[in-house]
Amino acid sequence: MNMLKLVGILLIIGGLALGYMGIQKVSKNDASVEILDLEIDVSNKSGKQQGYIYLGLAVLLFGGGIYTLTRKQ
């Protein structure tokens, strides 16, 4: 197996793992409660922001992995 393909596969796996962690972080820090037609938002903005940063990095890693795998030598 070529070393460049191995790096590409590792980047894709890392991107998928980071994306999963980002989705979990965003969903854990978002909550709302509805009481008698009044909705109260109790979300952690900094936790959601970290989750979105993870998702952005995941997209970059995944894209880098795809580019590395499909690049002509």
Total number of domains constituting the chain: 1
Specify the pLDDT at position 72: 73
Q: Is residue 1 part of a domain?
A: no
Specify the pLDDT at position 15: 96
Q: Is residue 16 part of a domain?
A: yes
Specify the pLDDT at position 23: 92
> Beta-strand (E) ranges in the chain?
32-35, 38-41
Specify the pLDDT at position 40: 75
Q: Is residue 2 part of a domain?
A: no
Q: Are 30 and 50 in contact (CB under 8 A)?
A: no
In terms of residue numbers, what domain contains 27? 7-70
User: Average pLDDT by consecutive 10-residue portion of the chain (73 residues)?
Assistant: 88 96 87 77 82 94 94 75
Specify the pLDDT at position 73: 67
Q: Is residue 13 part of a domain?
A: yes
